[in-house]
Structure 1
């Protein structure tokens, strides 16, 4: 799985280096974002650890910015019990991931792929986001664009006033 991710990341990096003028939103020119967070349920952990992320499951929790795999810049988004559902012992699970986000565009409800770039209708953006100017949610559409580096297990305690 690491090799597949590394190849995809390198391919995207070479495209950035060969055609920097085509980059619209990612002005850092960094293909990879580390660390992005992905909350999940306990029964998906082994599948993700062995096979990586799978777009076939897209839409279970969110499609607001497209039907891909969702990652958050801020852990507070992924630790929400909507995404990181507590198991029978009250443990929640969030992956810290390397994600090759590339160049992004704003996403729309239910879209299946990123939009075409304006200069070349045959070239797609690499990912979609919640806000193109300051993204906090990234959606990727190729399974090899993300690598689950660490699994964080935790238990949230109710806040007392």
Structure 2
């Protein structure tokens, strides 16, 4: 096993992209569910269908390298946040395999810039998690390198010089580098 990968990862086969269903009794499952509920989701769902840990070695290592650069620039861990990203079920595999890709910026709007959108509130991201034919919604809990954020606007293709991301002020963050976020967990719910 590559020592740069999390020790919680299941490395039984050589597939470098995996969706690992978490047992609902596991500490990891309980922690992710608590983050989901604490982020304005209580009462917005009736059932958690599953929570999966995303294991994409390539994108995790790229994110880790980028995080190393942020670590050198910042004195504390405020540069990294756990944020939510709601999406359609059609988009899920694309994000797992290709990570959050700026080429799709603007599909759901560009109010704070032309990048990938993440929210502190899962309740906000819920509106972008459109139900599929089974009534299931999909939301990622991602690690995001927000760094220093500037107030964004729809004309921004990149953050201003000296900034790493754009924001609405405190709830929405927009990233502009593909290795600036990592899809850590997928929450499937009704």
Please state if 1:138 is matched with 2:180.
no
Unaligned runs of 5+ in 1: 18-27, 117-123, 156-161
State the TM-score, normalizing by the size of structure 1: 0.79
Matches within 5 A, 1:114-153: 114-116=159-161, 124-131=162-169, 135-153=170-188
Unaligned runs of 5+ in 2: 1-58
From 86, 100, 108, the counterpart of 1:53: 100
In structure 2, C-alpha distance between the alignment counterparts of 1:145 and 1:108, rounded to whole Å: 19
In structure 2, C-alpha distance between the alignment counterparts of 1:7 and 1:29, rounded to whole Å: 15
Cα distance per residue 1:100-159 (max 9 Å; x no partner):
11111100113101112xxxxxxx30000001xxx100000001000001000111xxxx
Deviation at 1:29, TM superposition (A): 5.5
How many residues are aligned here? 132
Cα distance per residue 1:32-82 (max 9 Å; x no partner):
102x000011111111111211000000002000000000001000011xx
State the TM-score, normalizing by the size of structure 2: 0.67
**TM-align CA RMSD:** 1.2
In structure 2, C-alpha distance between the alignment counterparts of 1:98 and 1:48, rounded to whole Å: 13
Matches within 5 A, 1:68-147: 68-80=115-127, 83-116=128-161, 124-131=162-169, 135-147=170-182
From 33, 54, 59, the counterpart of 2:81: 33
In structure 2, C-alpha distance between the alignment counterparts of 1:62 and 1:15, rounded to whole Å: 31
